[in-house]
Amino acid sequence: MLGSKTIIVTGAASGIGAETAALVASLGANVISVDINRPALVVGDFIQADLSDRRSIDRLVAALPSRVDGLANIAGLPPTFPAEAVLRVNLVGLKYLTLQLLSKFSDGASIVNLASLAGLGWREATQSIEASTTLDFDDVPEFCKVHNIEGPRSYFFSKEALIVWTMQNRWTWRDRGIRINAVSPGPVDTPILKDFLETLGARAEEDMATMDRPATPKDIAPVVAFLLSDGARWIRGSNIHADGGMYSHVQCQTHGL
């Protein structure tokens, strides 16, 4: 399904990223695994990079091959980390890496952003999201202050803004056939699930109580792999809910349906 494609997977040392790297390699892709930590089991080539740091991303981009057919932006920090770090990794660094790679993307390349059910409230945050359009690494502390982004809000905001950025770029690179989409899981059983339960408290517990089980990385990786494939060519600027029905559940509850 992905034969002869060169695909970069960030966050490849753990959880959803590790599973995605293994799956896309098994589907024939030439994988380049990227993470701040070295994976216990390296899939394809590994390049160490800190995606919260512009210079580290610049070094990564320079080390990548001149032709890239897919980018799975999966690296992310949970809300137990300081708000500024969460915004840098989950939003600013992700966008910067993606934009820096444009000259290396082949025609028809696919970008997949790991968002979250936590981003579902983006409609209530459009003003701050709009203000974050040009947000740079150095401006993050001031931005957090001005927009009251502290504690777990950093995580919600990073995913809300990522979903909006994905939609906004539905046609930006259409002349080259480059697509961008997002995948939004609900709770997934990875090392950061406990961080979510810790920080998001009642809200996360309620979510978990309505679910039959949390997802595993194996429930999410195939969705990412499909979006990376040519079979998904008509999916553009979409946010695919891979959450066992949680998004629909919340919508029906909210609208009394």
Amino acid at position 197, single letter: L
Binding string, residues 181-210; x marks residues near ligand NAI by CB under 6 A: ----x-xx-xxxx--x--------------
Subset of residues 52 to 71 that bind ligand NAI, contact rule: CB under 6 A: 52
Binding string, residues 97-126; x marks residues near ligand NAI by CB under 6 A: -----------------x-x----------
Q: Does 11 bind ligand NAI (CB under 6 A)?
A: yes
Q: Which is nearer to ligand NAI, 35 or 69 (CB)?
A: 35
Q: Which is nearer to ligand NAI, 29 or 162 (CB)?
A: 162
Exactly one of 31, 72, 75, 221 binds ligand NAI (CB under 6 A); which one? 75
Subset of residues 14 to 53 that bind ligand NAI, contact rule: CB under 6 A: 14-17, 35-37, 49-52
Q: Does 2 bind ligand NAI (CB under 6 A)?
A: no
- Which residue ranges make up the site for ligand NAI (CB under 6 A)? 11, 13-17, 35-37, 49-52, 74-77, 89, 114, 116, 185, 187-188, 190-193, 196
